[in-house]
Amino acid sequence: MQCATDSALDDVREPVPRTEARETISDSVDRGMSAMPSQSSSDQISHMAIDIGGSLIKLVYFSRSSGSSRGGGSSKGVDGERNNAILDGRLHFARFETTKIDICLEFIKFRLQLGGCGDSNSESKNSARYKSVIKATGGGAYRFTDLFKEKLGISLDKEDEMDCLVSGANFLLKAVHQEAFTYLNGQKEFVQIDHSDLYPYLLVNIGSGVSMIKVDGDGIFERVSGTSVGGGTFWGMGKLLTKCSSFDNLLEMSHKGNNRVIDMLVGDIYGGTDYAKVGLTSTTIASSFGKVVSDKKELAEYKSEDLARSLLRMISNNIGQISYLNALRFGLKRIFFGGFFIRGHEYTMDTIAVAVDYWSKGEAKAMFLQHEGFLGVLGAFMSYEKHARNDLMAHYQQFPINLSNKASNSLFDLNDHDSIECSVYQS
Ligand SMILES: Nc1ncnc2c1ncn2[C@@H]1O[C@H](COP(=O)(O)OP(=O)(O)O)[C@@H](O)[C@H]1O
Ligand SMILES: CC(C)(COP(=O)(O)O)[C@@H](O)C(=O)NCCC(=O)O
């Protein structure tokens, strides 16, 4: 049983055959183009940031609309008031599998028009600066430093992953209207964030692995826990156990499956009744995958859909429970979940939310983020304006990325290749 992605390059340093690379990059770029509003060839790309995780690469870059420079913007940094030009344009988002980093490199080369004719005016020099150094976070910023230098001549300016996750989350929670929401009983409800009452909270980032971070303010945080049972576990075990063709297919299958075929329920152990004395209903999962032990069936006799559902349930439940226990450790009532594992998937969010609600007896709240997977890369993007972090509390609307209300609304369903209107301060 193999997934389609098995054909991805194992060793990304091996050059991809040119034709294959061209084909894949044009597919990828075409997909990007079709999702993006048309971009004039004179649009200049500046400010690119990348988050290279264990499973996925997230890319954010700003393309300035031609003639968009406005003077007179000011931001207050630790070194005093600064006057900056304001550049209008679009912020673009893209995502690639880390095993297919060559496609990402081709994409960056295409977008930055690397290798094109040089121009010696000051604007071009400025843009050349952005083309030679990009902000990078995630473990891959270390792992692939040489590859970026060799293939694109780009240096990765590294920013700490936890730092970026926190600044990305704080920024989104403060600057984007309707960023956080709860998900219970199939109902999505947006949460109004009171900026003066945001901290402390627990940020749980479910990427390949899971990091749990207690956030007390801008740049004030501690990674208090983590678990290796995360998104990579779901994806990896899903590939082994099911006939999935992609991650999305695995998620889709989990939607259709019945976990009771695989999981041992309290009722299976207690002859169909609740274990009421300790508050366990007959339908509670007593043992994930536990029913398989007594079945005399081969793997192939199980439906992929059922296996996918049990797996998703087991991992989401476990993360919800560990998150709650950490929130309890520090007396935190709010838990924000991010990371691409969630993918806005109803069943995942429902399972996590129910776990938090169940274990906390309704005391703690699980909240999800519209831009779940882009926290780290947004944090890295914003680190272009290092001092801005100090501005955030009082002047977050003057943060380097300024999203208008209109733009914020269009952020809904922002995923893979997409873009939003925004402006940045150029120091
Ligand atoms: N298209 C996809 N391909 C692979 N994994 C995906 C995809 N979409 C979502 N995922 C899930 O997201 C996880 C990665 O989340 P992410 O936040 O990007 O973490 P990382 O930084 O470790 O790559 C994967 O392990 C997988 O569970
Ligand atoms: C090592 C990591 C921070 C890397 O981040 P990721 O690429 O998974 O987003 C993360 O995988 C993690 O926190 N793993 C859990 C390790 C542990 O606490 O046991």
Domains within the chain, CATH numbers bracketed: 45-66+85-113+130-160+375-402+416-425 (3.30.420.40), 180-262+302-369 (3.30.420.40)
Please give the distance of CA 108 from its chain centroid, rounded to a whole number. Answer: 19
- Ligand 1 midpoint to CA 374 (Å): 11
**What confidence tens digit (pLDDT) does each residue in 359-418 have?**
999 999 999 999 999 999 999 998 986 534 333 322 233 334 444 333 333 333 344 556
Q: At which residue do the structure tokens 């920024």 appear? A: 171
- Ligand 1 midpoint to CA 241 (Å): 18
3-state secondary structure of 359: helix
For ligand 2, say whether the CB of 231 is within 6 Å of any of its atoms. Answer: no
Taking the CA of residue 98 as reference, the ligand 1 atom at the shortest distance is 23
- Ligand 1 midpoint to CA 232 (Å): 7
For residue 28, pLDDT over 60 is answered with no
Res 10: pLDDT: 20
- Ligand 1 midpoint to CA 75 (Å): 35
Mutate to test the pocket of ligand 1, among 58, 59, 245, 340 (most ligand atoms within 8 A of CB): 340
Taking the CA of residue 55 as reference, the ligand 2 atom at the shortest distance is 7
When pLDDT is cut at 50, 70 and 90, the band that residue 115 belongs to is: low
Closest of 103, 91, 86 to residue 5, by C-alpha: 103
Taking the CA of residue 236 as reference, the ligand 1 atom at the shortest distance is 25
- Burial (Cβ within 10 Å: 0-12, 13-18, ≥19) of residue 8: middle
- Ligand 1 midpoint to CA 197 (Å): 31
**What confidence tens digit (pLDDT) does each residue in 287-318 have?**
999 999 999 999 999 999 999 999 999 999 99
Q: Is the bond leading into 17 cis (omega within 30 degrees of zero)?
A: no
Tell me which of 12 and 127 has the higher pLDDT.
127
Closest of 59, 209, 205 to residue 137, by C-alpha: 59
- Ligand 2 midpoint to CA 212 (Å): 9
For ligand 2, say whether the CB of 290 is within 6 Å of any of its atoms. Answer: no
Element (H, E) at 49: strand 44-52
Q: Which ligand is nearest to the CA of 340?
A: 1
Instruction: Please state the pTM of the whole predicted model.
Output: 0.83
What mean pLDDT comes out for the span 61-70? 73
**372, 373, 377, 378: CA torsion to nearest 10:** -20
- Ligand 1 midpoint to CA 339 (Å): 7
For ligand 1, say whether the CB of 208 is within 6 Å of any of its atoms. Answer: yes
Cβ contact 80:68 at 8 Å: no
Residue 270 neighbours by CB under 8 Å, 6+ apart: 282
Mark out the alpha helices in 242-303 (DSSP H runs): 247-256, 266-269, 291-294
Mutate to test the pocket of ligand 1, among 55, 99, 204 (most ligand atoms within 8 A of CB): 55
Q: Which ligand is nearest to the CA of 209?
A: 2
Mark out the alpha helices in 144-259 (DSSP H runs): 145-152, 161-175, 231-241, 247-256
Least confident of 62-71, 234-243, 305-314: 62-71
For ligand 2, say whether the CB of 338 is within 6 Å of any of its atoms. Answer: no
Res 386: pLDDT: 55
For ligand 1, say whether the CB of 252 is within 6 Å of any of its atoms. Answer: no
Structure-block tokens of residue 357: 């609600």
When pLDDT is cut at 50, 70 and 90, the band that residue 129 belongs to is: low
- Burial (Cβ within 10 Å: 0-12, 13-18, ≥19) of residue 301: exposed
Residue 195 neighbours by CB under 8 Å, 6+ apart: 174, 396
Cα angle 158-159-164, degrees, rounded to a multiple of 5: 150
Residue closest via CA to ligand 1's atom 20 equals 53
Q: How far apart are CA 56 and CA 248, in angstroms?
A: 14
Res 233: pLDDT: 98
3-state secondary structure of 418: strand
- Ligand 2 midpoint to CA 137 (Å): 13
Q: How far apart are CA 223 and CA 405, in angstroms?
A: 32
**What confidence tens digit (pLDDT) does each residue in 195-215 have?**
899 999 999 999 999 999 999
Alpha-carbon Rg of the chain, whole angstroms? 23
Cβ contact 274:281 at 8 Å: yes
For ligand 1, say whether the CB of 387 is within 6 Å of any of its atoms. Answer: no
Is ipTM strictly over 0.90? Answer: yes
For residue 140, pLDDT over 70 is answered with yes
3-state secondary structure of 334: strand
Closest of 249, 293, 262 to residue 1, by C-alpha: 249
Res 247: pLDDT: 96
Share of the chain above pLDDT 90, in %: 63
Distances (CA, A) of 154 to 60, 114, 120, 242: 16, 10, 19, 39
Mutate to test the pocket of ligand 2, among 55, 206, 211, 374 (most ligand atoms within 8 A of CB): 211
Residue closest via CA to ligand 2's atom 2 equals 209
For ligand 1, say whether the CB of 56 is within 6 Å of any of its atoms. Answer: yes
Least confident of 74-88, 233-247, 317-331: 74-88
Residue closest via CA to ligand 2's atom 11 equals 209
Least confident of 62-76, 132-146, 187-201: 62-76
Give me the chain's average pLDDT, please.
80
Strand partners, 265: 285
Q: Which ligand is nearest to the CA of 160?
A: 2
